[in-house]
Structure 1
Amino acid sequence: MTEQPYGASGADLNLVGVTKSFGAFTAVDDLSLTVPQGSFFALLGASGCGKTTTLRMIAGLEEPTTGRILLGDQDVTRLRPYKRPVNTVFQSYALFPHLSIADNVAFGLRRRGVKGIADQVERMLHLVDLDGFGKRKPSQLSGGQQQRVALARALINHPQVLLLDEPLGALDLKLRRQMQVELKRIQTEVGITFVHVTHDQEEAMTMADTVAVMNAGRIEQLGSPVEMYDFPGTAFVANFLGQSNLFAATVTGRSGDDVLVESHGARFSVPAARCRVTDGPGWLGVRPEKLHLATGLDKVPSGHQSVTGIITDSSYVGVSTQYLVRPAWGDELTVFSPNSGVAAPLAVAGEVTVHWRPEHAFLLPRPEGQTVAPVVDAEALA
């Protein structure tokens, strides 16, 4: 059997109108999605949003209620899992404890009757930085090393698509961050399509070319990490992908290239290019790291917009200090102030002015009558 180079038969992965229902419950709702060949794609969302069900349908472990799944021109919707050019890496690793590392990696090829696979196994172990580990057993490896073995075992089969189901969830924080870098390096080197399911925002943004945020079985927003973080499409995305300060606002008019809004009696402007709505109610949003603190209005730079409030809490988190500031209307603002050593920390109960550049704000749709921004349930991310 001739070894096939990675990506040689690659094709875009397409989900067309895919719905998956379990009785009266719809887990995935009319999902249409294209994952370009060779990309690192992340499905991001809280528990129960439909991301794992979507992955299982791509793998063939679940069958869509309606819709189609295609790899290029090939319809794989009803194909059995073992007939699809797809492999999955699970959070649990699922290594065979009685087999050596080399035999674990070779398992898929041996089942297919491929001969002369020793060189392929060596190349795989080199790819995942496990040279010389072939004779060991899984119990002799750390969690991160076992995850690399699971990755090598999947990649040696030369799948068109590699599915990653929360693969780093069982690792500690430091090891998880190391593996994020390694997974991206490996994906770039082999050039095949990776589809990664995770609830970890940092994980998705660190590794993926494209992120799809799922909510209640649908895609809330899709785009590059930078695009989605800097200019989210909805209040849910703004608060799911990082943190945002969202004020209930109402559009009052236009001034040149700016949209004018009023919030809690104060007036602000937002560049029209940063507005998802240009009329009616909206959420005026600013990320915490884009906010700055001053001890008086006279210290606010020209052109910045501002509100005054009282510091209610201060938390030192290493690279920055997190302040909570309560303006006159009562809702607290979160401010991340870098610990650069230039300025002294500010005291709790002190009055400050929170200010920002207008181009760092954004305006999102707000349902009529809603005055409290949606909060992502931290428990749902576990």
Structure 2
Amino acid sequence: MTAPATGGLTLTAVTKRFGAVTAVDDVSLQIPEGSFFALLGASGCGKTTTLRMVAGLDEPTAGAITLGGRDITRLRPYQRPVNTVFQSYALFPHMTVEQNVAFGLQQRKVKRAEIKPAVQAMLELVQLADYGHRRPAQLSGGQQQRVALARALVNHPQVLLLDEPLGALDLKLRRQMQIELKRIQTEVGLTFVHVTHDQEEAMTMADTVAVMNAGRIEQLGTPTEIYEFPGSAFVANFLGQSNLLTARAHGPSGEDVAVEAHGSRFAVPAARSRLTSGPALLGVRPEKLHLTVDGVPEGHNAVPGIITDSSYVGVSTQYLVRAPWGDELAVFAPNSGTGGPLAPGSEVTLHWHPAHSFLLAPDTTPEPA
């Protein structure tokens, strides 16, 4: 089942103010038709307000929202070809699963003969074909979420809005539903816009992620692009974990940028550098760092240190290593079975390939390293 071609969702310079507070600040987005798009950010960043403006629940202070080339900025919620799935599910407890899913079709005066097969098709899509006669209270949290999804999809909206839809589920079920949501989106071919504060959730499901901070889009791209080459210190620390060294860039050196940090010299590929001179932050992800007690591969950046903490977490051992200047750097070493863990107090050398580092402008200008 594939949705008809209807065009994408576009936000143009959208702003929302509540009195003196600017919740969404001049946001422009182009969300392609049929994509799975995530708005990712911490509480209060403006992501839910953005979603509510698309749904028609809040009206923009400025800017325009178009869907398939049609301006929907001032339309009432029921006039928009948009449906929303909330964290609370909002199912009718006195109705059966079938009746919940059929409700929207009945409100639209769809012929009774067409409702039953449409409802059954949706229940099959969300793998609840045998649960139609149950009531919501007889279902698990994950099953209730599937019913809410079926109820929204049965109306064939041009865009499905998902507001923290998995937030009430436990970790294992949440991960299962992440896979299910992506499967369903691929199968129906609709545009999904998903609001979440969960980085893993956004990266697991979305084709494109917009990281929001203080009402603005901090960075937009695929999960791989944003994780591997964050655009700011905020993104580097919000999407995963990063080691950020206060540094100074000394300009291009061949295909690299020469960087000095805490008395040591490093190289960062120019293609992974957001600046080439002046105060900077040298970043490397914990899983890209390696620990050794002997030699370092030729061409690797290296820092000596002492292990201060070791935590076994199954797939990896997570270390904290104190560098000579006092900061602790995080290292995630895979538990491949080829060597035992290193004990706190061990003297080690951290090293990494220059291509695994990145160079950012500092959020605030630091003193030269």
Residues 329-368 of structure 1: pairs in structure 2 closer than 5 A: 329-367=325-363
What's the offset of the Cα at 1:304? 1.1
Find the counterpart in structure 2 of residue 159 from structure 1. Answer: 157
Q: Which moved more, 1:299-308 or 1:197-206?
A: 299-308
Find the counterpart in structure 2 of residue 242 from structure 1. Answer: 240
Find the counterpart in structure 1 of residue 107 from structure 2. Answer: 111
| Corresponding residue SS for 1:131 | coil
Report the TM-score when normalising by structure 2. Answer: 0.98
Residues 138-287 of structure 1: pairs in structure 2 closer than 5 A: 138-287=136-285
**Retained in 1: the 8 A contact 2:36–2:207?**
yes
Amino acid at match of 1:40: F
Match of 1:301 among 291, 297, 300: 297
Match of 1:326 among 310, 318, 322: 322
Give the aligned length.
366
**Retained in 2: the 8 A contact 1:281–1:367?**
no
Find the counterpart in structure 2 of residue 375 from structure 1. Answer: none
| Corresponding residue SS for 1:301 | coil
| Corresponding residue SS for 2:277 | coil
Find the counterpart in structure 1 of residue 123 from structure 2. Answer: 125
In the aligned structure 2, how far is the partner of 1:203 from the partner of 1:241?
A: 11
In the aligned structure 1, how far is the partner of 2:256 from the partner of 2:7?
A: 43
Report the TM-score when normalising by structure 1. Answer: 0.94
In the aligned structure 2, how far is the partner of 1:345 from the partner of 1:288?
A: 16
Amino acid at match of 1:218: R
Is 2:56 the partner of 1:73?
no
**Retained in 2: the 8 A contact 1:283–1:365?**
yes
Amino acid at match of 2:227: Y
Find the counterpart in structure 2 of residue 134 from structure 1. Answer: 132
**Retained in 1: the 8 A contact 2:310–2:344?**
yes
1:95–1:252 CA distance, 2 compared to 1 (3 A): same
What's the offset of the Cα at 1:368? 5.8
Amino acid at match of 2:48: T
Amino acid at match of 1:92: S
What's the offset of the Cα at 1:7? 2.1
Find the counterpart in structure 2 of residue 377 from structure 1. Answer: none
Over the aligned positions, Cα root-mean-square deviation in angstroms equals 1.1
**Retained in 1: the 8 A contact 2:282–2:359?**
yes
| Corresponding residue SS for 1:280 | strand
Is 2:87 the partner of 1:91?
yes
Amino acid at match of 1:42: A
Amino acid at match of 1:204: A
Find the counterpart in structure 2 of residue 38 from structure 1. Answer: 34
What's the offset of the Cα at 1:305? 1.1
In the aligned structure 2, how far is the partner of 1:367 from the partner of 1:218?
A: 15
**Retained in 2: the 8 A contact 1:184–1:207?**
yes
Q: Which moved more, 1:218-227 or 1:64-73?
A: 64-73
What's the offset of the Cα at 1:310? 0.6
In the aligned structure 1, how far is the partner of 2:364 from the partner of 2:223?
A: 29
In the aligned structure 2, how far is the partner of 1:158 from the partner of 1:346?
A: 56
1:193–1:332 CA distance, 2 compared to 1 (3 A): same
In the aligned structure 2, how far is the partner of 1:13 from the partner of 1:79?
A: 15
| Corresponding residue SS for 2:59 | coil
Identity of aligned residues (%): 72
In the aligned structure 2, how far is the partner of 1:352 from the partner of 1:85?
A: 59
| Corresponding residue SS for 1:229 | helix
**Retained in 2: the 8 A contact 1:60–1:81?**
yes
Where do 5+ consecutive residues of structure 2 fail to align?
Answer: none
The runs of at least 4 aligned residues of structure 1 exceeding 3 Å deviation read none
What's the offset of the Cα at 1:371? 6.2
Find the counterpart in structure 2 of residue 7 from structure 1. Answer: 3
